Structure 1
């Protein structure tokens, strides 16, 4: 199989990966017949040329290294290539911004694979990943740069937060500045993704905790406080308790202070409160004669 046919196979694998998880049988026999160094070069060419190929390349590397744990030729070659791309990122950016963005995508997609294979070697990815997102917000970014930064930050935000929370705070500040900036490269879709990133950061990168109306933008999905149809006799609203207490007190005053009430109220009888008889009014002239 020549290089052109191999690239066509990799392109078809990217198309299959868009429909769901890529089965191992789709590339297992192919990668086993290839030299590890040659396979690494083809994977490198693939993730630089096609933005969809980075997850497929990560799956191939994981499959080969899992099948042959002692054979580290492929993983070492790919690690050297991805780190060399980061070192030469300025030259790659000057030549092709598409390849520059694709190199950053590969950096993020390969990190979980190398963390699973070797935790020590995976530390080489930490600083490049934070630098990659910061450079996507640099001076005069294109619309595709914002889209790439939004996609990477929203997908791998929890991973970055576990690695360096302080670095994530700096990136969140860059996101806020970008949202309020009057940039012609910003559109409604990118702003929505950036707002979603702020929500993820607020709710500790747990999307299930974000209120639905934050995501949909519809106020009719909010939980509106409505009076319950049936109140529990043990748990009542505060206003209801206050009103019931005030009504009870007013009834008690009426029952004890009314001159026509000859019979004590049941509450006063249960509390053994004596009924106070109202004093008979004496005319003023009679009072003077008595004195």
Structure 2
């Protein structure tokens, strides 16, 4: 009974709470920006929604991952960028406004695209047929725990702006604490799977993270975007909402073993993000060298 209450009620409510916090940081101008600067949005959308799942599928085949790990990696790739990507964009001095817009857009679009990717992954990789994936149930679940809370948060932000700005930081902190608790829970519950398959899962997650970031940079070059926008696309495509992936595995599919990939990815993505922030700092220092004053005689 306790496990059922946690997986069926507490975990979805917690994610909805986090999505509400994301909504508190959004305004209508974030979506107006989609029309004002369409090329970065289109590039990020293609990389996030189309290229990333294809990349994950290719890694599953090339690395010959187990069915559970393959499905977990595909679920992760089907998820949008999370609030972590906004924090990393800020640290890397990327285009934060673009990052927020892409996170919001991908969070909305994934409600409609993720169920199809998940259904394909389960039907393709699963060795048993006792796992029923309902498109309507997954879509409805994502709608309730992601899209509706985001919209409600935006409404609150519009009418109670001062309060929203003040408390939004606490929602970010809760998201981090909740993610750490989720990782801990998955590691404890699935420690046998992790110990047996850690090497392949770690390598797969690391490759997905690093190659996805490269995809963001290449996409930006194809669309002839600025250096800031290039960094932003690398971050948005490379950092996934692992919390949502774990929630889908545990609460919607009732398969905690699938959540192992998201748990490991939650650690590897910070390694990739750290390298990107260091690169961004080095690149920015070279682009803006300190000019020493010269004496005039």
Who wins on radius of gyration, i.e. which is larger?
1
Question: Greater share of helix residues, 1 or 2?
Answer: 2
TM-score bin (small chain): under 0.3
Higher relative contact order (CA closer than 8 Å, sequence separation 6+): 2
